[in-house]
Amino acid sequence: MSPEAVGLIGIALLLVLLFARMWIAFAMAFVGFFGIAYLQSFDQAFLIAGTAPFVFISKYALTTLPMFVLMGNIIAVSGIGTDLFYAADKWVGQLRGGLAIATTLACALLAAITGISSVALVTMGKIALPEMRKHKYDDTLATGCIACAGTLAFLIPPSIAFILYGIITEQSVGLLFMAGILPGMLLAALFIVAVMIITAFNPKAGPAGPKTTFKEKIVSLKGVWSMLVLFLLVLGGIYMGVFTPTEGGAVGAGGAILISTISRRLSLKDFRHSLVDTGLMTAMVLLLMMGVSIFIRFMAISKVPFMLGETISQLTVSPMAIFAVIVVLYLILGMFTDIIASILLTIPILYPVVISLGFDPIWFGVMVVVLIEIGLVTPPIGMDVFILSGITGTPVGTIFRGVWPFCVAGIICVVILAVFPQIALFIPGTMK
Amino acid sequence: MLNRLSRVLSLVGTALVLPMMVLIIADVALRFAFSRPITGTAEIASLMLVCMVLGVSWCAIEGRHIRVSLVMDRFPLRAQAIVDSITMLAGLVICIIITWQGYQSSLWVLESQEVASELLPLPIFPFYWIYVLGWVALCLVMVPLLIQKVKGIIQG
């Protein structure tokens, strides 16, 4: 049997094991190990199983993961998100659907200082949703908006998704961060447009709030300073080259701890809880990464990605048509797994293919993240919808009914980015 | 007993988060202010990260390792238990292989006296042992998880 055929059988077996509810990390390690043993030898497979996982996770760049998770966990308990929401409400609350727009804005701002969506889901689920219910918002609009705007955390830097993508593809995490800024703002704007369209057709879904004076608006900004300080500290430092994105994680976590301690909003109990959760989350991702480390070697030995790239580049269809197929693939995949698993599962196979087609690796990273974000809120498995349902007690079905206008906005964002890749590549271009 | 062991290991791994943060910040600050970075920060922080593998067994007990349950949820309970037992066994097999080979590598690393880097002559074999310890704990906690699934088949 040719190595490529073994590789394809391996991928098929991996899918079977995944659907059989095997832990994703073990499924990848298992298929990778036996694939290498079959193609080369058991000795070689043993050697890789003994060294590859250690080498793969002992990377300085990966230390960013616990750092940004810690930063997010601290911000989640510090009330910074709540401040952002109330400030945004003062500015846009008087519009129709104002609270939903304020939620989207607050999520976008929160995304600029966190790298995981759960922070926004927890904060907005506990603060913005009761507020919207009090003002007789339609539950589908309210929860759909939170679930979707929460995913902005993965697109607007810092972002765990970009860190993992950067590590696996050996691309610069700093460039990926910068590439996420404008598309993130674009997607947030499209979400806001979606809210406006929904409430234009159905004004009862999101009644306008009371008018606020200019003075109230200015006063509300006092709640935004801590976010601004953290944002300028981390992203500014990375952009100016004072420190690397890897170091930015530690600086951000330290900054978040300092700010929330000074403003007396971090109890010892919350702090301990944040730390323990950081440890668990890190261990979970480490196990996944160790599984990937073996699988990625198997893929390289089987030459499947190379073969796929070769075959596809000989097709006479345009690269954009192939890209459209990849888009559909990600949308389907996103329905079944969470963002970290999606990236770790697909990038080892698809990334070499995409690059051989001549797509920009940074731009592709942005596209993948937007696509997986959509997957995070689409049925049957929308991780973020489940999390939000767990936090707020809203039935999953209600939230799923509310997300589709925002998914349309997401697809529009993908199309715009495909037509104008400069939106993603402009800021990274100014960095060098 | 097993639970307590993995909980303690996990806390040891977690306890490294703050020192890691402080080390990196100190490195950045010293470099920025006095152009005198701390030698070996990258190596030490990476090895600290490796130590966080100690948390994988507690993660397993807490049910935090990601899997796709969409398809299996639709099957009868006994069928679920059968498939889970098989995948859990396969998982245990690969888990033992990685643990055992990790130990073999550690011996090799010990013998060759491999160090973190030329700048930082810190031997890395102890970190291999910590890494292996994390894996051993994971193998151990998977056994009761597997037994639980097999019991599920019998009880239906």
Count of H-run helices and E-run strands, chain A: 23, 0
Find the closest chain B residue to A251 by CA distance.
Answer: B25
DSSP state of A234: I
Say if residue A412's pLDDT is above 90. Answer: yes
Chain A touched by B132 (CB under 8 Å): no
* CA–CA dist A403, A409 (Å, integer): 10
Q: Is the pLDDT of residue A313 over 80?
A: no
Chain A residues with CB-CB distance to B116 below 8 A: none
Please write the tens of the pLDDT for every residue from A37-52.
999 999 999 999 999 9
Question: Which chain A residues are closer than 8 Å to B97 by Cβ?
Answer: 33, 46, 49
Q: How many CB pairs under 8 A join A and B?
A: 195
Least reliable range by pLDDT among A200-204, A326-330, A423-427, B48-52: A326-330
In whole angstroms, what is the distance from residue B26 CA to residue B32 CA?
A: 10
Q: What angle do CA A104, A106, A107 make, to 5 degrees?
A: 65
Q: Is the pLDDT of residue A316 over 80?
A: no
pLDDT for A432 equals 59
A52-61, A371-380, A406-415, B120-129, range with greatest mean pLDDT: A406-415
Tell me which residue of A381, A296, A396 sits closest to A331, measured CA to CA: A381
In this structure, which amino acid lies at residue A230? Answer: L
Angle value at C-alpha A293, between A288 and A297, nearest 5 degrees: 145
The beta-carbon neighbor of B70 closest among A26, A63, A336 is: A336
How do the domains of chain B map onto residue ranges?
2-155
Q: Does A276 contact B14 at a Cβ distance shorter than 8 Å?
A: yes
- CB pair distance less than 8 Å for A279 and B131: no
* Any A CB within 8 A of B77 CB: no
pLDDT category of residue B3 using cuts at 50, 70 and 90? confident
Pairwise pLDDT comparison (A90 vs A336), residue with the higher score: A90
Q: Average per-residue pLDDT in chain A?
A: 88
Contact assignment for B25 to A254 by CB distance below 8 Å: yes
A253, A216, A215, A218: which is closest to A234 by C-alpha?
Answer: A253
Indicate the residue of B23, B64, B97 with minimum beta-carbon distance to A280: B64
Rg (CA), chain B: 20
b/e map of A97-127 (b: 16 or more CB within 10 Å)?
Answer: bbbbbbbbbbbbbbbbbbbbbbbbbbbbbeb
DSSP state of B38: P
Segments forming the whole domain that contains residue A351 = 3-430
pTM metric for this prediction = 0.89
Q: Read off the pLDDT band of A378 (50, 70, 90).
A: confident
Contacts of A272 (CB under 8 A, 6+ apart): none
CA distances from B19 to A67, A410, A425, B45 (A): 11, 40, 36, 9
Q: Which of A251, A286, A341 sits opposite B56 (nearest CB)?
A: A286
Closest among B55, B86, B145, B148 to A16, alpha carbons compared: B86
Q: How far apart are CA B94 and CA B139, in angstroms?
A: 10
Residue type, B18: L
pLDDT at residue B69 tops 80: no
pLDDT score of A304: 82
Give residue-wise pLDDT tens across range B13-59: 899 999 999 999 999 999 888 888 888 888 889 999 999 999 999 98
Q: How far is B142 from chain A (nearest CA, A)?
A: 12
Question: Which of A34, A59, A284 should be substituted to probe chain B, the one whose Cβ sees the most B Cβ atoms within 10 Å?
Answer: A284
Partner-chain contact B67 A51, CB within 8 Å: no
Instruction: Map residue A240 onto helix, strand or coil.
Output: helix
Q: Does B75 touch chain A (CB under 8 A)?
A: no
Residue A67 has its nearest CB partner, among B21, B102, B127, at B21
User: Is B68 in the A-facing interface, judged by CB distances under 8 Å?
Assistant: yes
Give the integer Cα–Cα distance in Å for A2 and A316. Answer: 25
* Chain A residue with Cα closest to B129: A54
Would you state the pLDDT for residue A397? 86
pLDDT at B118 over 80: no
Question: pLDDT digit string (tens) for A104-150?
Answer: 999 999 999 988 888 889 889 989 999 999 999 999 999 999 999 99
Shortest distance, CA B151 to any CA of chain A (angstroms): 18
Instruction: Give alpha helix (H) positions in A93-224.
Output: 98-111, 118-126, 128-134, 139-150, 160-169, 173-201, 214-220
Most confidently predicted of A272-281, A349-358, B117-126: A272-281
B119 touching chain A per CB within 8 A: no
B33 touches A at CB < 8 Å: no
CB distance B18–A26 less than 8 Å?
no
* Count of domains forming chain A: 1
Query: What percent of chain A shows pLDDT beyond 70?
Result: 99
- How far is Cα A192 from Cα A346, in angstroms, rounded to an integer? 31
A278/B131 touch (CB, cutoff 8 Å), yes or no: no
Amino acid in the structure at residue A258: L
Residue B111 — very low, low, confident or very high, per pLDDT cuts 50/70/90?
A: confident
Distances (CA, A) of A273 to A71, A216, A276, A292, B156: 13, 35, 5, 29, 37
- Set of chain B residues whose Cβ sits within 8 Å of the Cβ of A17: 87, 90
